[in-house]
Amino acid sequence: MVDDNELFALRGIEPPKPTGEARARAMQAAMAAFEAEKNSQATQGTAKPLRLTDRAIKLWSGMMHKKLYATPALATLVALPIAGYTAFYLMEDSPLVFTPGQQAGDAPRERKQEVAAGEKKKGDQDEAEHDVLADLTVQPAQPPAAPEPASEAVVAESGADSGARSVVATPKPMAAGRAARDAAADSKLMAQPAPSIAPSDMPAVQEENRDRVQDFETNPIRSVLENPVSTFSIDVDTASYSFVRRSLKEGILPDADSVRVEEMVNYFPYDWKGPDNATTPFNSTVTVMPTPWNGNTKLMHVAIKGYDVKPAEKPKANLVFLLDVSGSMNEPDKLPLLQAAFRLLVNTLGPDDTVSIVTYAGDAGTVLEPTKVSEREKILRSIDTLTPGGSTAGEAGIREAYRLAEQSFVKDGVNRVMLATDGDFNVGQTDDEDLKRIIEEKRKSGVFLSVFGFGRGNLNDQMMQAIAQNGNGTAAYIDTLAEAEKVLVQDASSTIFPIAKDVKIQVEFNPQKVAEYRLIGYETRALKREDFNNDRVDAGEIGSGHSVTAIYEITPKGSPATAMDDLRYGQASVDNGGVANAGEYAFVKIRYKAPDGDVSKLITTPVTDSNAVSSFDTASTDQRFSVAVAAFGQKLRNADQVASFGYDRIIEIATAARGADPFGYRSEFLSLARLAAALDTGNR
């Protein structure tokens, strides 16, 4: 132990000063590192490197924690280059821009990611400390002058036209610099723990949001005389609902184009009447009811329920997990959540099912060759050992995954690639149209596709939707382990086991009964009229036990809600008394193929007054709840039809129709509606 008298004697000694040569080398190294970071062009999907300030902070913290330097002289010797390195970086990097709504003291996201990723290895830190000491020469010197205090943060305009405002903060001295200055004044500070870096001392970083969603216009009102036929592909995706939920829980109203109303409605399980046996894969129920947001229109509610494959009848499954392990997956809600989700899925499979694992980052690789689930522990270990790093070669991963699926193809079974990713493919084919063509080519092999999105800020929802729709597949977004459990455990049968593919709906409206109509949602699933009978045109799939809902708002003939004038010459063909089936509202046709079939079959349902209910309250609980969800989705898209229909009415309808709600999904919906009402101050 060092004697107190010796320490007292050392107190009066002036701290040594580095040589000019050492100082020049330190400055040259700092400039080179700064320029390297400043001019770096990181590929999307690559993990962020350590910031220069964080390197200095970690080095300083490690040295102080070890208490390697007991004298102010040696402390100053080490501290000065580090303080200069950090201060120079901060001064060059200003101004620091804070995002709107962010507090100046908020810790930047990059710092959080470093903590989550773990501290640097001890050996690396010791080596860095040794390199610093090697370049220093001890010579007597005068202590440095204390730095001038930095100015306060100021508010500046971010653009002449944008009107946006951002906080520009002048950097404060870093804790390392303050510690060096204080060390020269009082050696007692050296016996204390390393100074911590307060969030207010760290620069706030504005993260770029690279989420991509498809732009689309809300379905318009159509005249029955001009456009009597509506055709679209079935949709059982649920990605939009969970994406909207995450936005609202983060205190942000979702982008309107991220709201696909049909996916929100179809997120919930409903007790629609299903078919009695597998010979008819699904049953449709059509109900006409008054519209809660417009007393002069009606809703035509089409509910479809798929046949529920019983456990004893489930075919064998051949699944290929195609997992994104690029550097951008190094966040808690990405790769770690993905691993937990797929562990849940593996535990639902039977011993005779087969699992393969393909990963992709800078290139694609096979982690696990086709393996029976009877070797469950081997599969789980393969999932647990995944680590992130590199860019995103999605195209190569897709090709390898399909190759393995075809290699282990199960006749009369389930053959599916399950793609899990956070964003763009940036190596190989990256264009959405090119990827769609690859998927269209691969679906001919009989291998289906499911797509699961993870994380925020880099999510390419547009690409996910495109390849899922063109690969006889479905898309979901997993933001929590609870959502993973819903998608991959509770809904495993409907997610994995298809009962029908290329399912299309066509509705012909009767101009004698209906003047106008609009389809609520399904904008990205629209088909041409002639596509309905064309078996070469791809459409959606229905899985075991799936329920699908489509809702039209229709304007009865003669209603004051009619938005378009009558055609001068358009009545002769329908007012001549010779129209067949004049009492029908519409004629609903559903066309589908068996999972392994190439020729479609047809199911038809006429819609008459017998399908109508007298009041909205007399509709079933499930029907009323699905209408509340449809109203909520339209509200988030700022649709004109629900402009005067408040969130309070949506909450009232959904509360009255909540029903048993065994998993709490409907209660959660009520919570989201209340959040949206609080956030959407201009559209309540």
Q: 473 and 330 share a domain?
A: yes
pLDDT tens string 448-466: 888 999 988 778 788 888 7
The answer to the question of residue 237 being in a domain is yes
pTM: 0.69
* pLDDT score, position 440: 79
The pLDDT tens digits of the residues spanning 519-573 come to 999 999 999 999 999 999 989 889 888 999 999 999 999 899 888 887 766 554 5
Does residue 511 belong to any structural domain of this protein? yes
The neighbour count for residue 245, using CB atoms within 10 Å, is 22
Identify whether residues 241 and 357 lie together within a single domain.
no
Helix extents (H) in 210-334: 239-249, 261-265
Q: Is 145 left (phi over 0), alpha (psi -120 to 50) or beta?
A: beta
* Sign of the four-CA dihedral 113, 117, 118, 123: negative
Q: Based on the domain organization, do 474 and 514 belong to the same domain? A: no
In a domain, 206, yes or no: no
Indicate if 297 and 339 belong to the same structural domain.
no
Last residue of a domain, one of 134, 169, 201: 201
Please give the share of the chain, as a percent, with pLDDT higher than 70. 67
**Does pLDDT of 346 surpass 80?**
yes
Identify whether 624 is part of a domain.
yes
Contact 342, 321 (CB under 8 A): yes
Residue with tokens 């005249």: 223
Query: Is the distance from CB of 540 to CB of 260 less than 8 angstroms?
Result: no
CA 682 from centre of chain = 26
**Residue 595 and residue 540 in contact, taking contact as beta carbons nearer than 8 Å:** no
Pair (543, 671) in one structural domain:
yes
Given a cut of 90, whether residue 147 has pLDDT beyond it is no
Give which of 607, 608, 574, 611 is closest to 590, Cα–Cα. Answer: 607
Q: Structural domain of residue 38, as residue ranges?
A: 4-201
Span 125-151, average pLDDT: 42
pLDDT on residue 200: 41
Residues 348 and 422 in one domain: yes
Q: What is the mean pLDDT of residues 214-225?
A: 94
Q: Is residue 157 classed as helix, strand or coil in its secondary structure?
A: strand
| Residue where a domain stops, chosen among 457, 475, 496 | 496
Mean pLDDT in residue range 146-170: 38
Q: Do the strands 514-520 and 222-223 form a parallel or antiparallel pair, or are they unpaired?
A: antiparallel
Over the chain, what is the mean pLDDT?
A: 77
Our count of domains for the chain comes to 3
**Nearest-CA neighbor of 512 among 605, 616, 607?**
607
pLDDT digits (tens, 9 = 90+) for 311-333: 777 889 999 999 999 888 889 99
Are residues 479 and 505 located together in one domain of the fold? no
Q: Between 425 and 661, where is the model more confident? A: 661
